[in-house]
């Protein structure tokens, strides 16, 4: 993997950060993308290996990253694309405003599509590419009170499956990783919101959520990152169009 270059979105914390570290460990040169410039700078300097860089921007605003990434890609093509972005705020779908759906689609589905198109020609030319979306187990089983997130995650999974049919003949795989409850700032914010809504202690709600998982614990970001790293490797060349859960067995469907 030492000859490969990867763009990792949402890399300033959580699963994105863990994925950047995991890829760097196996020799991949990583570009970190997120909004928090200070976090990106700190993470980049701590990555093993060399050739890493970062881009601080808003993924929902293509004008802030398209030309910059095009220049980076022209200098050294990206072969691995990890599409990862923070989910929309919680709430019942019946109360969601139209703008919430539009913003979520822009940050996830539209941005994902534009990024793939940016790198697609060189992936086809090199007969190698890895497109990995990080979504949620809500693709398989919608999560109550995450109406907008459930909707956009399912749309992204369907987009990825369709894309996998088109790109498979060119040696490009497209897979969807579905984290379950993972110990990240995002999960902490959802637990906090639930605790405030129910007027219960944070730890009590946290314990309830852990008990929903057969393994009785939350995932570590590194556990999801390990799967992403494998799917990015040569060893995963015949795996495409899949949605794979990292959830401790919580999702009840096959």
Q: Over the stretch 24-75, which tens digit does the pLDDT of each residue have?
A: 999 999 999 999 999 999 999 999 999 999 999 999 999 999 999 999 999 9
Extract the tokens encoding 80.
Answer: 């691995």
CATH number at residue 157: 3.40.50.720
pLDDT in tens, 187-238: 999 899 999 999 999 999 999 999 999 999 999 999 999 999 999 999 999 9
- In this structure, is residue 197 part of a structural domain? no
Burial class (CB in 10 A: 0-12, 13-18, 19+), 50: exposed
Give backbone dihedrals phi and psi of 178, rounded to 5 degrees, phi first: -115, 95
Extract the tokens encoding 163.
Answer: 């894309």
- In this structure, is residue 190 part of a structural domain? no
- In this structure, is residue 22 part of a structural domain? yes
Question: Rounded to whole angstroms, what are the CA distances from 34 to 19, 31, 49?
Answer: 13, 10, 21
- In this structure, is residue 165 part of a structural domain? yes
- As for how many domains the chain has, the answer is 1
- When pLDDT is cut at 50, 70 and 90, the band that residue 1 belongs to is confident
- In this structure, is residue 120 part of a structural domain? yes
* Sheet order of strands, 129-134 included: 53-56, 29-34, 5-9, 80-84, 129-134, 172-179, 243-246
- In this structure, is residue 214 part of a structural domain? no
Query: What confidence score (pLDDT) does residue 142 get?
Result: 94
Query: What confidence score (pLDDT) does residue 90 get?
Result: 85
pLDDT of 157 above 90: yes
Question: Which residue range is the domain that position 227 belongs to?
Answer: 5-182+221-246
Residue 155 makes CB contacts below 8 A (sequence gap 6+) with: 105, 108, 109
Give backbone dihedrals phi and psi of 252, rounded to 5 degrees, phi first: -85, -5
Query: What confidence score (pLDDT) does residue 86 get?
Result: 83
- In this structure, is residue 207 part of a structural domain? no
Burial class (CB in 10 A: 0-12, 13-18, 19+), 210: middle
Q: What is the mean pLDDT of residues 150-165?
A: 97
- In this structure, is residue 176 part of a structural domain? yes
Question: Rounded to whole angstroms, what are the CA distances from 18 to 13, 49, 156, 222?
Answer: 8, 15, 22, 5
């Amino acid at each position: 993997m030492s000859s490969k270059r990867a763009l990792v979105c949402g890399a300033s914390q959580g699963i994105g950060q863990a994925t950047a570290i995991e890829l760097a460990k196996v020799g991949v040169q990583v570009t970190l993308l997120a909004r928090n410039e200070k976090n990106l700078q700190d993470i980049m300097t701590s990555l093993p290996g060399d050739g890493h860089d970062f881009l601080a921007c808003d993924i929902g605003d293509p004008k802030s990253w398209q030309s910059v990434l095009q220049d980076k890609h022209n200098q050294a093509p990206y072969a691995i694309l990890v599409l990862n972005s923070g989910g929309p705020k919680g709430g019942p779908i019946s109360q969601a405003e139209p703008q919430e759906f539009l913003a979520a689609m822009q940050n996830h589905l539209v941005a994902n599509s534009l990024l793939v198109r940016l790198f697609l020609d060189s992936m086809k030319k090199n007969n190698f590419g890895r497109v990995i979306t990080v979504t949620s187990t809500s693709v398989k089983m919608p999560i109550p009170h995450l109406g907008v997130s459930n909707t956009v995650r399912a749309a992204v999974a369907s987009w990825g499956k369709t894309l996998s049919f088109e790109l498979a003949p060119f040696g490009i795989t497209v897979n969807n990783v579905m984290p379950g409850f993972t110990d990240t700032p995002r999960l902490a914010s959802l637990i906090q919101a639930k605790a405030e809504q129910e007027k219960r202690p944070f730890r009590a709600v946290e314990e309830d959520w852990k008990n929903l998982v057969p393994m009785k614990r939350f995932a570590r970001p590194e556990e999801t990152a390990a799967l992403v790293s494998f799917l990015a490797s040569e060893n995963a060349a015949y795996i495409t169009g899949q949605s794979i859960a990292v959830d401790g067995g919580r999702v009840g469907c096959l």
